[in-house]
Every structure is written in structure tokens, then in C-alpha cells.
Amino acid sequence: MQENIFIAGIGLIGASLALAIKQEQPQATICGWDQNLASLATAKEAGVVDLASANFADGAMQADVIILAVPVAAALTYLDELGQLSLKANVIVTDVCSTKQAVMARAERYNFTFVGGHPMAGSHKSGVLARDVNLFENAYFIFCGKNAPSIAHLQELFKGTRAKYVELSSQEHDEITGMLSHLPHIIAAGLVNQADEFSQEHPRAMQLAAGGFRDITRIASSDPTMWRDVLLSNREILLAQLATWTKKMNTMRQLLLTEDAAAIYAFFENAKDTRESLPVHQKGAIPAFYDLFVDVPDQPGVIAEVTGILAKASVSLVNIKIHETREEIIGVLQLSFKNLEDVKRAQQTILAHSSYHCRVK
């Protein structure tokens, strides 16, 4: 495709999309724009984009395809600006926002073709420096809209993502992501905040909050600005889901009051059966975590040894965490990777070049 592609927002998603487009559509010209001029300069110097626009309007008016790789609130503002510009007659505008009804409704006010987009992928890191051409591989890429030719055009343009395309209505998209992503983020953040308040009275609580508690609340570390915008843009659906959640928690409270052992057992049995039927190591509404846990002795140089083994094998880490250890007690290194292939290769490499036990979770 010999097209001019304009990407507004050169962060993790925008930069990674640019790389994926270049991989399969090398003849396309990619122009970038970002309010963070340092990020834009980095993207241009690294060849992530071919051109750096002087401003949003100039880049948009030259484009055949406009990608709004920004949070929901910013996307709404940019859609309003696009509605006042002299865009190309056949321009296609799309976005990457994690809620769809608000942006679809705003775009309908204007006379340009809009296709709602949502690549369900993310990373422990953010910004242009975290860009990854393989970020979207095997992830679901959702499209919302009724313009079939434009959707097909974008699917061809994004072929280099190697994502799995799904078409949904904006209502269904927001209901599904509300249940599987937005509500879990609220619950995780609520648990952490409750534990923080609890620790004021019980100071040792946060020390004991490591391990499982830290793992089940991991998504509470997400960007507060992004999640504020996501929740407000999916407000009605989340109000309904929170009402359902509150009802279910009140039911559990009643089961405890009445000491209904059979019903409590059934509650956990159903949850266990349902969770064990979920797909393993597939990318869904919440980015998957690929962790390797390595049992190591509490000795100087152990971390350097393990990371050195991985470096020699060219296995890239995205994060490392040291679980608390005591002298002469086995400790645990929690190593995080970009994808399932990397974590499996890391496990094989460590087992082949050391005596350390390691396991994937």
C-alpha cells in the first residue's frame, strides 16, 4: 500500500503499530505526531516513523489513514479537531481505545469514515522505548463499525501485527471488556486500597501482602490517568456490573452469616471449574503475564549468574523481582518476559546451564 499513514500518539501502542505496518507495508509512509516532542524525536531518529509532523492538523490533512493511538479523552478531543479540518475525501480514521461507544458516538458527528479499533495488547513498560513489533502477535484486535470495505482495508494494513481479528458492536465490546478487564482492575485497586487502610491498624500487614496477594492485585499497578478515563467512558456498563458484583458479595456475606457450608463450597467449586476451563497462555482482555520462578540460594552473585545465563542466550527480560529471602534459605527470583516463547526458552536455558529449579506459572 502506497499510502500516507498518520499516527497520533507515539507511545507503546502507536510505535509498535508503526513497526508492524512497516514490516508488511514497507511502501507506506508513516508520519507521527506526539505532544511529547522528545518521544516524537526518538521515534524519528530510530526510524519508527518516516516523518515527524509539526502539528496534529498538518499530519492529519496529508493522511490516507489516521490512527489515534491515544487514551479515550484525548481521542475525543482529536475527533472534534478532525471534524474541523479539510481531510482527504477517502480518509479512514481509527483508534486504539479500550472503550468504543464514546468514540464511535463522537465520530458519527463528522463527515469522515471511522472504524473503531482496539488491539488487546500491552506491556509492563510504556512509551516509545518499549516498542515491540511482536506486541500484537496472537492478540485479539477488535474492530467496530459497519463499513466493511474500510475494516478490510485496515485489516490488510495491520497484517504485520499477526493479530487475530474480531468484529463486535461497540456495545458488546464495552460490555465484554467491562466484565473481563475494567471490573477486575477496579476490584484489584479496591483490594490494595483496603489493605493499605487495614495496614494503618496492623503495620505488619503490608509485609505479609507479598506472594499471592501481590500476584492477584498485580493489575492495580496500571496507569491511573488511563483508568480514570476508561472508567468514565464506560460508566453505565460499569455501574451495572458493580451492582451485580455488590449483590454477589452480599450473597456471600449472607452465606457466612448463616454458616451455609454447602453453598460456600459450591461457590468456590464453580469458580475453580470455570477458571480451569479458561484458555492457557492466550492473550485476552488483560495482557497476560509470562513469569518464570527460579529457586536460588541466598548467596552473593546469584542474580548476576542467572541474568548472565539469559544474556548469553539472548533472552530478553522485561522485569525481575526478588522475593524476600533469609540467610541459608532458598529464595525466589520472579523473572518476567514478553511472551510465552521467551519464558519457555529462558526455562530451558537456566535448566541446561545451572542446577537451579525453575517453573513457569
Query: What is the tens place of the pLDDT at every residue in 24-40?
Result: 999 999 999 999 999 99
* Predicted local distance difference test score (pLDDT) of residue 65: 97
Question: 4-168 has which fold?
Answer: Rossmann fold (3.40.50)
Say if CB 67 and CB 31 are below 8 A apart. no
Per-residue pLDDT tens digits for 290-305: 778 888 877 778 888 8
Distance CA 182, CA 199 (A): 26
* Predicted local distance difference test score (pLDDT) of residue 284: 60
* Predicted local distance difference test score (pLDDT) of residue 179: 95
Which of the residue ranges 40-54, 78-92, 99-113, 310-324 would you say has the lowest mean pLDDT? 310-324
Say yes or no to pLDDT of 326 above 50.
no
Sequence-separated contacts (24+) of 194-197 with Cβ below 8 Å: none
- Sorting pLDDT into bands at 50, 70 and 90, what band is 324? low
Q: What percent of the chain has pLDDT over 70?
A: 93
Q: Which three cell numbers stand for residue 169?
A: 458492536
Average pLDDT, the chain: 88
Per-residue pLDDT tens digits for 72-103: 999 999 999 999 999 999 999 999 999 999 99
Nearest by Cα to 132 from 54, 24, 48: 48
Say yes or no to pLDDT of 349 above 70.
yes
Question: Between residues 59 and 350, which one has the greater pLDDT?
Answer: 59
Residue intervals in the chain for CATH 1.10.3660.10? 172-258
User: What pTM, to 2 d.p., does this model score?
Assistant: 0.79
Question: Between residues 310 and 151, which one has the greater pLDDT?
Answer: 151
Per-residue pLDDT tens digits for 188-211: 999 999 999 998 999 888 777 766
In whole angstroms, how far apart are CA 80 and each of 57, 68, 83, 148, 194? 12, 12, 5, 24, 39
Residue intervals in the chain for CATH 3.30.2130.10? 290-360
Distance CA 82, CA 97 (A): 17
Torsion angle in degrees (nearest 10) through CA of 285, 128, 3, 22? -80
Which of the residue ranges 122-126, 233-237, 254-258, 285-289 would you say has the lowest mean pLDDT? 285-289
Say yes or no to pLDDT of 327 above 50.
no
* Predicted local distance difference test score (pLDDT) of residue 344: 85
Q: Architecture of domain 290-360 in CATH?
A: 2-Layer Sandwich (3.30)
In whole angstroms, how far apart are CA 207 and each of 101, 212, 271? 42, 12, 28
* CATH class held by domain 172-258: mainly alpha
* Predicted local distance difference test score (pLDDT) of residue 287: 61
Residue intervals in the chain for CATH 3.40.50.720? 4-168
